[in-house]
Chains A and B, each alone.
Chain A
Amino acid sequence: MLLQAKARAITGRVLARIAKTAGATARVRLSSTRGGYTRFAVNTVTAAAETEDVTLSVTIALGQRAAEAATNQLDDGALDDVVARALRFARLVPENPEAMAPLGAQRYGKGPTADPHTARAAAVDRAPLAQVALDQARAAKVTIAGFIEHAHESISLASSAGLWAHHESTRGAASCSARTPDATGAGWAGAVAHRLVDLDGAALARVAIDKAQRSAQPKKLEPGRYTVILEPAATASLVSFVIGALDAREADEGRSCFSTPGGGTRIGEKLFPDTIVLRSDPTDAPLGARPFDDAGVPLAPRTWIDRGALTGLVTDPYWAQHQHRAATGAPNGWSLAGGGSTREALIAGVKRGVLITRFWYLGLLDPRTLAATGLTRDGVFLIEDGAIAGPVNNFRFNQSALDVLASCDALGQTAITRVDAGFPFRAPWLRTHDFNLASISEAV
């Protein structure tokens, strides 16, 4: 792990080398990670590892000519090489009118801090989390698989114009999937936290096993348009398409669902009900947030969809300059606000509908509408007359993510999940209507 003093010394050595070239400007990004993971499946441990790595990335510009080189070696010879590579390529490439000068010194808000216990964690700290899941599975006579991981990470940014930013964080995640012996029931539970101690392996295993048992022997339900209740992991998967579409340049250029015919964007337009509020918060510790983006742009808490209206789009420094606007930076710490409805209240309000645990293999079908496809897995339940009627088969859906939010009529508690093993996202239980469960999936 590269703590602040050492990281500053390394970036200083890189910048000193670049300073020898007249007219060269530079951005340096130095990241490091140390962590580990344990995998288990078919009721036994299957793999585990302790890993560490570092990445030093150097972008050198000669006027508008710029190139980036990276290495994971930090000795003097490697620093010489990475600077030489970036410089050589910068001399060879044509001018790029979009190349931006490196940022100078910035003021950043206070970000979350790393958890010392998680930073020191090792295989022996993960083993009890796996052990409790394996024990519960054996007792319940189900088959369990799961994954526990943690990491201590740092990122440092420096530039020839005086930028310095450094942030350390920790993260942990645990998840498990249970399957019934007759292979007709499957359940999943997962959690993300910045402290390993906040991950409750017993609770996760209980939920996954309970859901597997309750989803066994599903009845056939025909495809169609249903009222659906999405658990937080399912909400996060779908709404991540909305986050991905919040790009100002694409919208201004007319190739986004947030473009309007004839030019312009949908900023200011009320697209969703009042309850839909989408925020990014660089101080949100459990989301692994930090107060600056990879370019060093300071980040502040920001609302992107406020009471259903689109309030802004993510704008990088070049596009901000081009459009005479302020750069937003690339936000992190995403949350979709929850609501006051309990799980029971959400279900009680449904005459006939479907409860969905999570989705799998989502793909964007149409960037014009944010229509996406994907499949349900690990627990789908029919709701009739305000109560769970029983488990049903899985489905493929074809559905616009924008319409999911537009037709939302109730929100519940939030939870954090990693979207398709990617960024952590705090999302709520969500009820929506006319959801197109397009075909039956026989998968369990």
Chain B
Amino acid sequence: MTLTRRSFLAGTGAGALAALAHPIAASARGLLTDPTLDAVIERALSAATRAGATYADVRVVRQQREALYAREDKLVGVESSDSYGIGVRVLAGGAWGFASTPRVTPAEAARIATAAVGVARANAKLLRTPVVLAPEPAHVDVWQTPMTKDPFKIPLEDKVDLLLALNREVMAVPGVRFAASFHEATSEWKRFASSEGASIEQRIVRIGPGYEATAIDDKLGTFASRAHDLPPRQAGWEYVTDSSLLADARRIGQEAVEKLRAPSVTAGPRDLVIAPSNLWLTVHESIGHPTELDRALGYEANFAGTSFATPDLLHKLQLAAPHLTFYADKTTPGGLATCGYDDDGVATQRWNLVERGVFVGYQTTREQAAWIGEPRSRGTAYADGFGAFPFQRMPNVSLAPGARTRSLDDLVAATDDGILIIGRGSWSIDHQRKNFQFGNQLAYEIKRGRRTRMLKDVAYHASTIQFWNACDLVGGADSWELGGAMADGKGEPVQLNPISHGCPPARFKQIDVVNTGRP
């Protein structure tokens, strides 16, 4: 059986894609050898120009996804999806227009390019200020995810075996009634070309395994779940095999059972020690989103909201304690938003958003740079498929580690009375990114420098500026971890952006703790 299954997958482990740690010059054809693509791109750009576009770009995008789902002792779902198409974006009369098609042919490319110009002309009548793009060199390049084992070339049976083994381990814990595990891998291949001469080909591979244990107490009529904290990552299959997913499974099951009988937290202000597995999401919501320039200026006011971090506060607002620096970085190794070039064709970068506690920077695109007088885009445009209009999306945004070597245990040891928060639970923040409330996977009471009993029904609630200014200790570089999620929503229609956030553990003084079991 094993040999038969393996023989189905040509190449398998031996067919791992050669890793490219750095972008290379695109003297070769690139990653996909479809002989019609050059003609497709040429027809789209020339049709757009002929129809009156002053700028045009084409993205040919192929997205693949493989997903497996297991519950208890059975594999209940296997999915393999493949999507391919063209999106053409133009400027005509100073306004944007966009059209897309799943039919990747020169004739279709020309048709949608002309249609996109028609859309732009309809919009131009409603326009107040013409769109102006910040200059960017016309890059010609190839970039792809550095990895050693392409997850799409790993035998299916390896993934099935892993999921069933995870569930078996979790279910071996007395009191655990249910187990759910999953594996997801995505491949985003795209070729970008513009009327300015850019030609960029990229392949980004992301992987996200996970599982959850659910324990039930029939007599009490109650239940509790515990999900593993391993975040998704831009990586190959080696990320899964190098992880502690399987080794942790018994502990995860035991923690679900322990949650059932853990005492409910007493609400009130407490000192919090927050592990990176929880804090990354707080960074995302309270630092990442407010520093999106389109949001801050009102461009997302109808749905995603606006921001407290308005341009008049640049270099003035003490957003966080002076020992904290947050940076945006679309080059972070393994980051889900990492790539060589954004969907405007801008080379990716790293820069500070909050420097020594002061709000100093925004995330921008080519359209937005001039809005705050910056000469160049920060390279944060993204579209989540060939049919999606590229707009400003969050890069990886991270909290820099502290200068001193400090671990999570060191922070606990330094805390006399507090709560340790681990893992991602519920999350919610207001539409200007101040009032937030975050749950968790696990919470423990800290007494006299020691982690003591587990607590349940814990969430912390704060206002962004108060919270980050209440941070008095952070971990060092060795304690810094990268969290993240495959799907951050923004825009209308909603587009999903994969995103990572790194942070050390940190301690916060006197933060409001809410009891979610007795709201």
Contact = CB atoms under 8 A, between A and B. Distances in A.
Nearest to A151: B493
B123 A45 contact: yes
B493 to A, nearest CB: 6
Interface string B485-498: 00000001110000
Interface stretch (B45-53, B165-173, B301-309): B301-309
A145 B428 contact: no
Contact of B218 (A147, A262, A439, A441): A262
B146 interface: no
Contacts of B457: 366
A5 interface: no
Given A50-B99, A71-B81, A88-B8, A365 B126 contact: no
| Among B78, B79, B155, B305: residue with most chain A CB under 10 A | B78
A303 interface: no
A371 B302 contact: no
B92 to A, nearest CB: 11
B477 to A, nearest CB: 32
A177 B295 CA distance: 14
B96 A47 contact: yes
A366 B156 contact: no
B302 A146 contact: yes
A362 B177 contact: no
A441 B222 contact: no
Contacts of A41: 298-302
B431 A377 contact: yes
Given A67-B80, A361-B428, A371-B519, A49 B305 contact: no
B85 A72 contact: yes
A439 B299 CA distance: 27
Contacts of A305: none
B435 A49 contact: no
Interface string A109-147: 000000000000011101100110010000000010111
Contacts, number: 279
Contacts of A177: 301-302
Interface string A359-375: 01111111111010111
Contact-residue bracket for chain B: 35 or more
B431 A37 contact: no
Interface stretch (A195-203, A274-282, A284-292, A392-400): A392-400
A384 interface: no
Interface stretch (B114-122, B240-248, B268-276, B408-416): B114-122
Interface in B98-148: 98-102, 112, 115-116, 118-120, 122-123, 125-129
Given A261-B219, A365-B519, A179 B427 contact: no
B435 A85 contact: no
B183 to A, nearest CB: 13
B302 A127 contact: no
Interface string B74-96: 11111111111100000000011
Q: How large is the interface on A (under 10, 10 to 19, 20 to 34, 35 or more residues)?
A: 35 or more
B182 interface: no
Interface string B190-227: 00000000000000000000000010101111110000
Contact of B100 (A48, A51, A253, A368): A51
B389 interface: yes
B156 A72 contact: no
Interface string B407-434: 0000000000000000000111111111
Interface in A149-205: 149, 175-177, 179, 186, 188
Interface in B423-466: 426-435, 437, 439, 457, 459, 461, 463
Q: Is the interface of A mostly helix, strand, loop or mixed?
A: strand
A175 B84 CA distance: 31
Contact of A73 (B84, B119, B122, B177): B84
Given A131-B126, A253-B178, A371-B516, A443 B435 contact: yes
A85 B80 contact: yes
Contact of A72 (B78, B102, B431): B102
B119 to A, nearest CB: 5
A88 B429 CA distance: 45
A440 to B, nearest CB: 7
A299 interface: no
Interface in A321-377: 360-369, 371, 373-375, 377
A259 interface: yes
B475 interface: no
B502 interface: no
Interface stretch (A6-14, A16-24, A93-101, A238-246): A93-101
A44 B122 CA distance: 13
Contacts of A85: 80, 82
B492 A421 contact: yes
Contact of A444 (B76, B300, B428, B432): B432
Contacts of B427: 363
B221 A261 contact: yes
Interface in B298-327: 298-303, 305, 308
Contacts of A368: 222-223, 517
Contacts of B177: 253-255
B514 A47 contact: no
B189 interface: no
A394 B308 CA distance: 15
Contacts of A307: none
Given A89-B156, A253-B177, A68 B432 contact: no
A131 B125 CA distance: 9
Contacts of B470: none
Contact of B426 (A146, A365, A369): A365
B428 A373 contact: yes
A112 B98 CA distance: 31
Interface in A75-105: 81-82, 85-86, 88-98
A43 interface: yes
Contact of B431 (A176, A364, A375, A400): A375
Nearest to A398: B519
Contacts of A106: none
A178 B233 CA distance: 39
A438 B519 contact: yes
A45 B95 contact: yes
Contacts of A42: 128, 297-299
Nearest to A422: B494
A85 B78 CA distance: 11
Given A255-B214, A360-B431, 18 more contacts: A49-B119, A52-B387, A53-B83, A69-B79, A72-B83, A73-B102, A85-B82, A93-B75, A123-B119, A127-B123, A254-B177, A261-B218, A365-B426, A366-B519, A373-B516, A377-B305, A398-B437, A398-B519
19 contacts: A47-B391, A48-B120, A48-B123, A52-B387, A57-B81, A67-B78, A68-B77, A72-B83, A94-B74, A94-B75, A94-B164, A124-B122, A130-B126, A149-B493, A177-B302, A363-B428, A396-B435, A398-B437, A442-B434
Complex A-B, nearest 10 residue pairs according to Cβ-Cβ distance, in ascending order: A261-B221, A398-B519, A44-B128, A443-B432, A70-B81, A49-B98, A123-B122, A443-B430, A45-B126, A365-B516
Interface of A: 36-55, 57, 66-73, 81-82, 85-86, 88-98, 122-124, 126-127, 130-131, 134, 143, 145-147, 149, 175-177, 179, 186, 188, 253-255, 259-263, 360-369, 371, 373-375, 377, 394, 396, 398-400, 421, 436, 438-444
